[in-house]
Every structure is written in C-alpha cells, then in structure tokens.
A = this chain, B = another copy of it.
Amino acid sequence: MRALDGDEKEAKRQAILDAADALFAKHQNLANVADVAKAAGLAKGTVYLYFQSKEEIYLALHLRHVEQFFTRLIGRLESDQPFGFDEMQSLAQEHILDATTYLPLGACCIGFAAGAVAKEASAHFQARLTAWLEAAGQGLERHFQKLPRGEGVRLLQHSYAIMVGLHSLLREARSVPKCEGMGTFQDEARLALTRYWTHVARIDESVKPRAKK
C-alpha cells in the first residue's frame, strides 16, 4: 500500500515474531504460516514479504530469544560489579532453563532440514551468535582472572551445549525425572554446569573478579 521505511518494516517483522512466539508457546509446535499470519492480522502472502520461509520465521524468533539472553549477559559483564558463577547460573536459569520456549524452539531449529533455511539467513544467525559469544566470552575473561584467552567463548559454548543436550534428552523431564536417581531437567542442568565450571574455572576456590584496570 505504502512503502514502509526500515523502522515500520522492522516493526512488522517483530509483530509477526510476536504472533509466532505466542503460538509456539501455546502449542509447543511450529504453527503453520496461515495461523501465524492470522494471529498477526495479516494475510498469508504478506508474511512472505518479511520472511523467506516458515523456517526463517522461527529461526528469527529463536535468534530473538538468544539475543535477549546475550544482551542481558553482555550488559552485565560490561559493568565492573563482581560477577560469579551463581549469577551466571541464575541468568541461564531465568532466560534458558526455566523459559518454556527457549530450548524447545531451539530444538526445532536444530532439526530444520538441510536446505530449508537460506544460506544467508543461516549465516546471519551464525554471525550474530558468534559475535555475542565472543563479546560475552571476553567479558567472562575480564571477570574471571584464571580464564586464558579464548577460554571464555569455549566455556560459554560448552555450557550452552550442556543445556541444549540435556534438554534434548530430558525434555519431558521438566517436572518428572526420567531415570532412577536422575533429577529434573533443570536439576541436572544446574548440576552439570556446576561441575563443568568447577573444573574449568575452579570457581569454588580461586576465580575472582580481576582487579579493575
């Protein structure tokens, strides 16, 4: 109808993602495009003016989840307030482990068929994620003096992997444990992260915020 400038276009993109988010939260499933469009008050075809495919909608939505977490984490790491594992974990808990859609949607995105997502979209996702990881990794290295150069990113990646992997094994174990002796998904994730960080950063004994420069 009228040419949208960049801001309006972005606003509409976000509106579509809001709709998709709500539907995913409700059905734990990738709603079909018609439903997303309807929920966003648009026609099916219009959605395709903003996203190239259904998969890209959900990848973009997932990216938004990821962004929220990293924005918060990086923001926190940029301050000079002492930052320890407990705080890290509570951030992860809040944004990732306890969030009802973060990991389930992530799991769907992982399963996207090869080729279902355009190269550029995929690359864009990777680029943003990489940038956040590196920024946050460097932030961690600032706060934890024992972390050698590059270990911050690795620590984040491995931690993230633990959460993702445990989720895929224990997705139904959000409330009820699967195996004899195992806890809920959240319990196990907390435990595994604690162990991993304990080893890597010797948080318990020696990792302390570096002195201000």
Contacts and interface: CB of A to CB of B under 8 A. Distances in A.
A113 interface: yes
Interface in A178-202: 178-182, 188, 191-192, 195-196, 198-200
A160 interface: yes
Contacts of A181: 149-150, 153-154
Taking the full assembly, how many copies of this chain does it contain?
Answer: 4
Contacts of A29: 113-115
Interface stretch (A4-12, A38-46, A68-76, A161-169): A161-169
A66 to B, nearest CB: 11
- Nearest first, the 8 closest Cβ-Cβ pairs linking A and B are A111-B111, A161-B165, A165-B165, A150-B181, A199-B199, A164-B165, A161-B166, A110-B168
Contact of A180 (B134, B162, B188): B134
12 contacts: A29-B113, A110-B110, A111-B111, A130-B179, A153-B180, A157-B169, A157-B182, A158-B188, A158-B191, A160-B165, A161-B166, A195-B196
A150 to B, nearest CB: 3
A158 B130 CA distance: 24
B110 A188 contact: no
Given A29-B114, A153-B179, A195 B188 contact: no
